[in-house]
Amino acid sequence: MNNFFQFLLHFIFIATFLFVYIIAIIILKPFRLHRKRKISTISLKISYLVYLAFFLAFVYLVLFFADNEVNTEENMENGSSAIYYIIVLLSFFLPNIGIMIRRRFKKNRSKFNYVVTALNFLIILALVFLMSQVQWDF
């Protein structure tokens, strides 16, 4: 009975994360190109979708497979947990804010798109780094 509830919980989270990802694709319309800024627009949208996939995978893995007891004790001793929390908070807010305010930039939109694209890839690298630092309990 316990395995069924655990399976159901995993299923609910995976379904919810897939729903969020599909809604993001529908809202962004990643292959709808802008006439003047084709490359910068598609690079921003694709980098955001790649970031979102990494972020949702990271959240799922941390929720279900992180060895919380070991990770908390080790990180509290050396003070790195605060840095990890800051990285996670920044990785949650910055790409989402960047994708939401992109239309407010009229003159330098291409530059803004490239800067946010680079930011998205830096955050993906930070998430990969965090994934390598967590002790997983598969």
C-beta separation of 38 from 110 below 8 A: no
Q: What global pTM score does this model have? A: 0.87
Please write the tens of the pLDDT for every residue from 13-69.
999 999 999 999 999 988 887 778 888 899 999 999 999 999 999 999 998 888 766
